[in-house]
Amino acid sequence: MTTRRTWSALCVLTQLVGCAGNGDGLDPSGRPVSSGGDGTLTADFASIQANVFTPICTACHVGANAPQGLRLDAANSYGALVGVASSEQPGLLRVKPGDAAASYLIQKLEGSAATGARMPLGQPALPDSTILVIREWIASGASRGTVASDKAFTVQTISVAATQIAIAMTRPVDASLVNITTVTLQSLPTLPDEPVMIAAQIAVSPVNDSLIVLSPKVALPPGRYRLTLRGTGSAALADWSATVMDGNGDGMPGDDYVQTLTVGGAP
């Protein structure tokens, strides 16, 4: 059994620039709220979440200011990892289902990544047996496991980079409804000018059917942007059971989702 001390190092899954979460997911003592992990690690997402991400990694990776925008609490971690491009190496996915060697997470843990130091930063390398368990989960398809059918169909988490915006939904998305009219991105100028539409390719990820990937045709310069997901009208975003998106989080389908995003440390 891998020791808890060893697992503490996994908090730095990607290049860590600071521990700046806003406190969401912490108990009154400032420690992550436990999800009931029993310390026995198995090669499935629920076990990794319960025994690694929630009790250990959310000490840093929690809240709106999580390092690299990587939130690893139970509500956000899967959508921030699987099918999402690395912020250090945009050509690689943090977790690429079925291909552990090409997953940036594994490269960082094994010390083979082209950028930065081996993870965990400043700590002993994880034992081979620990990395093997994570490899097995990825190689077997990096499944999320069972998703509650009564959960609202809405945005789970958003990962923002200059070359890609990854929008994780709570359930698989009807890919036929994902296009430039239902998912839009606009730049928000500092002067009182009209927002400018950003040209982008938009599609459901081929490796994560709950992830909408927006890839700008030109890398986004630092600034503020408005992301809109259409939850109203005849062509609103919906899941495969035709449940329309709950855009405003009121528990009822049929509303647009509008969010202001920041790229490159812009104010």
Identify the pLDDT of residue 62.
Answer: 81
- Please name the CATH architecture into which domain 155-263 falls: Sandwich (2.60)
pLDDT digits (tens, 9 = 90+) for 99-137: 999 999 889 879 998 987 777 666 667 678 778 888 899
> What pLDDT digit, counting tens, does each position of 228-251 carry?
999 998 889 999 999 999 999 898
Q: How many CB atoms lie within 10 A of CB 249?
A: 11
Residue spans per domain, the chain: 1-146, 155-263
At position 21, the amino acid (one-letter code) is G
What is residue 56's three-state secondary structure?
coil
pLDDT of residue 9 exceeding 70: no
Residues in the chain: 267
DSSP 165-179: EEEEESS-B-GGG-S
Is the model's pLDDT at 19 over the cut of 50? Answer: no
pLDDT above 70 covers a percentage of the chain that reads 81
Predicted confidence (pLDDT) per residue in 33-81, tens digit:
444 455 688 999 998 888 777 776 777 778 888 777 778 799 898 998 9
The Cα–Cα gap between 194 and 52 comes to 45
Task: Please check the confidence at residue 181 and state whether its pLDDT lies above 50.
Answer: yes
Sheet containing 223-229: which strands, arranged edge to edge? 196-197, 183-188, 223-229, 257-263
**pTM: predicted TM-score of the whole model, two decimal places:** 0.81
